[in-house]
Each structure stands twice: as structure tokens, then as C-alpha cells.
């Protein structure tokens, strides 16, 4: 009787052990299956990323050029940006150009205005310029389009839509800078106007400049806004320097007048007012 009990007990132990082993084995199979799925997904994503990197490194972006002689000669990825090296193959100096990323329905615009640049105010014939574009999906899918260029003599090349946009913006900027120059000349023409309140008064006057004209295009109005903001920035810098260095109002205002005259001439296609 005791022997039968022992045999039954051992049988239960063996059955229990087999059940435990089956559960453990099933758990290992399930874990291995999940790991394989995750690894497969990651591998696929890694391959996609690798594919993109290889595409970029091989300079295989789609490039559409609506200009005749503004050429993209290379590109390089630096800190999540693509640096496109542009070369001016025209016989004229370029002081602005327009590029887009995306398709006709949805794109990012890059209106590159060089007139106000403190570093490079124009691209000379055979000269180069680096256009920095964020590394994004639109660039992968639709590439970069060079739409138009504008030269220092006021002439242009490329798509008329974008040429008109550049020129309308410049006209709006010129409008405001000309008003600012006239205001400045009025102050400089009378010594009585030059005192400790001159800069504050000029800033207050410029602040009243309108930035919209219902008879003009939205691009023109955008230029008016930019022109006004630039004037306030120039005067604000003089005000800041005046407090720090106690510089002469007249000396700084004469420098500003010269700067505005130079900008207005460039915005006017190189012609003086």
C-alpha cells in the first residue's frame, strides 16, 4: 500500500515538473517571437535611415533650376542642415535670389536678400554662396528649386512670379527707408534738433509709419513692415551706444544717413534717387 502511494506521489511530481517545463518553454518561445518582431522593425527603420543618409551623401537630391546660370555645384550635410554651394556663372553681380523646397501646392520659401548683409552683399561673377536648408522630409521628397535671381543693376532672371515678389518687397522697404532718410535729413538740417532727445524723437516718429497700403500687394506691405523694423533697429542701436559710449548724435546720424542712402540706391537697382 505504501509502495503504491509512493509511486502515485512520484507520478504527480513528474507530471508537475513536465507542466512547469512546458510553461517555461512556451514563455521562451513567446519572448523570442516578440524580440524577433522588434528587431525586424528596428532593422527596417535603420535601413530606411541608412538609405536616406546614402542618398544625401551621394548628392542625389532632386534639383530643379529655373535660372539660366545660377548653379548648384555641391552639397554637404552639417548639423541637420544641407549646405548647397551655389556658383554665379552670370557676368553680373547677384544681390538676391529665390529658392523653394517642396512642390507647387506646399513649399518652404527662401527669399535670400543680400543687400543688408554685413558679410556678403552680393555674389560676384564666378563667386560662390552657401545656401543652408534644414534637413527635412520635403527636401527628400521634392528637392530644391532655384526660382529666380536679381542682379545689382535691377535686372533679373527666372520665374516671373518670384522675381515680382522680390521686387515688390524691395519697393516696400525702399518706401520706408526713403521716409526715414527724409526724416533724418530734417533733423540734420537744423542744429536745434540735435539734443539729448533726438534719438527718442526719431524713434517715436518712425513708430508712426504705416505698414499697410490697401492699394499695394501683400509683398509690398511685407516690405514696408521690414523697412520700418530695420529703421527702428538702426535707431535703437544708436540709442544703446549713446548710453554706453556717450557718442555724438550728429556723428551717428550722419553714418546712418550714409547707410540709408546706400541701401536705397541698391534697392533702386543701383540708380541714385
Q: Over the stretch 167-209, which tens digit does the pLDDT of each residue have? A: 999 999 999 999 999 999 999 998 777 888 889 999 999 999 9
pLDDT at 240: 86
Element (DSSP H or E) covering residue 107:
strand 107-113
Q: Mean per-residue pLDDT for 232-238?
A: 94
pLDDT at 49: 41
- Sort strands 156-158 and 70-78 into parallel, antiparallel or unpaired: unpaired
Q: Mean per-residue pLDDT for 100-124?
A: 88
Interatomic CA distance for residues 40 and 74, integer angstroms = 35
- Sort strands 63-65 and 128-134 into parallel, antiparallel or unpaired: unpaired
- Determine whether 205 is exposed, middle or buried from the number of CB atoms within 10 Å of its CB (0-12, 13-18, 19+): middle
Structure confidence at residue 115 as a pLDDT band (50, 70, 90): very high
pLDDT (tens digit per residue) in 73-99: 999 988 889 999 999 999 999 999 999
pLDDT at 10: 61
Q: Lowest-confidence range among 32-46, 103-117, 189-203, 248-262?
A: 32-46
Q: How many Cα atoms are found within 13 Å in the side-chain-facing hemisphere of 202? A: 33
- At a CB cut-off of 8 Å and minimum separation 6, what does 68 contact? 90, 157
pLDDT at 50: 38
pLDDT (tens digit per residue) in 49-77: 433 343 344 457 889 999 999 999 999 98
Q: Does residue 146 have a pLDDT over 80?
A: yes
Q: Mean per-residue pLDDT for 252-262?
A: 94
pLDDT at 9: 54
Mapped onto helix, strand or coil, the DSSP state of residue 161 is helix
pLDDT at 245: 54
Q: List the grid coordinates of 77.
A: 550635410
Interatomic CA distance for residues 120 and 146, integer angstroms = 19
**Could you give the residue ranges of the DSSP H alpha helices within the chain?**
2-57, 137-142, 160-188, 198-207, 218-245, 249-267
Interatomic CA distance for residues 268 and 175, integer angstroms = 11
- At a CB cut-off of 8 Å and minimum separation 6, what does 172 contact? 216, 219, 220, 221, 222, 223, 224, 225, 226, 227
Structure confidence at residue 266 as a pLDDT band (50, 70, 90): very high
Amino acid at each position: 500500500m505504501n509502495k503504491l502511494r509512493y509511486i502515485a506521489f512520484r507520478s504527480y511530481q513528474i507530471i508537475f515538473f513536465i507542466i512547469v517545463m512546458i510553461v517555461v518553454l512556451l514563455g521562451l518561445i513567446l519572448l523570442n517571437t516578440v524580440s524577433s518582431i522588434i528587431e525586424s522593425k528596428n532593422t527596417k527603420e535603420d535601413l530606411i535611415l541608412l538609405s536616406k543618409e546614402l542618398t544625401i551623401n551621394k548628392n542625389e537630391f532632386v534639383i530643379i533650376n529655373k535660372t539660366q546660370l545660377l548653379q548648384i555645384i555641391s552639397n554637404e550635410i552639417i548639423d541637420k542642415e544641407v549646405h548647397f554651394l551655389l556658383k554665379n556663372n552670370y557676368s553680373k553681380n547677384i544681390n538676391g535670389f529665390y529658392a523653394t523646397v517642396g512642390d507647387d501646392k506646399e513649399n518652404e520659401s527662401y527669399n535670400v536678400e543680400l543687400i543688408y548683409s554685413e558679410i556678403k552683399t552680393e555674389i560676384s561673377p564666378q563667386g560662390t554662396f552657401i545656401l543652408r536648408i534644414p534637413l527635412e522630409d520635403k527636401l527628400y521628397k521634392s528637392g530644391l528649386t532655384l526660382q529666380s535671381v536679381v542682379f545689382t543693376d535691377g535686372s533679373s532672371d527666372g520665374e516671373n512670379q518670384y522675381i515680382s515678389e522680390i521686387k515688390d518687397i524691395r519697393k516696400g522697404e525702399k518706401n520706408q527707408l526713403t521716409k526715414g532718410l527724409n526724416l533724418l535729413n530734417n533733423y540734420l538740417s537744423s542744429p536745434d534738433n540735435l539734443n539729448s532727445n533726438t534719438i527718442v524723437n526719431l524713434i517715436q516718429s518712425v513708430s508712426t509709419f504705416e505698414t499697410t497700403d490697401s492699394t499695394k500687394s501683400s509683398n509690398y506691405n511685407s516690405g514696408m513692415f521690414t523697412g520700418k523694423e530695420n529703421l527702428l533697429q538702426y535707431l535703437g542701436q544708436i540709442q544703446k551706444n549713446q548710453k554706453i559710449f556717450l557718442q555724438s548724435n550728429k556723428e551717428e546720424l550722419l553714418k546712418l544717413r550714409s547707410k540709408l542712402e546706400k541701401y536705397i540706391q541698391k534697392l533702386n537697382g543701383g540708380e541714385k534717387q
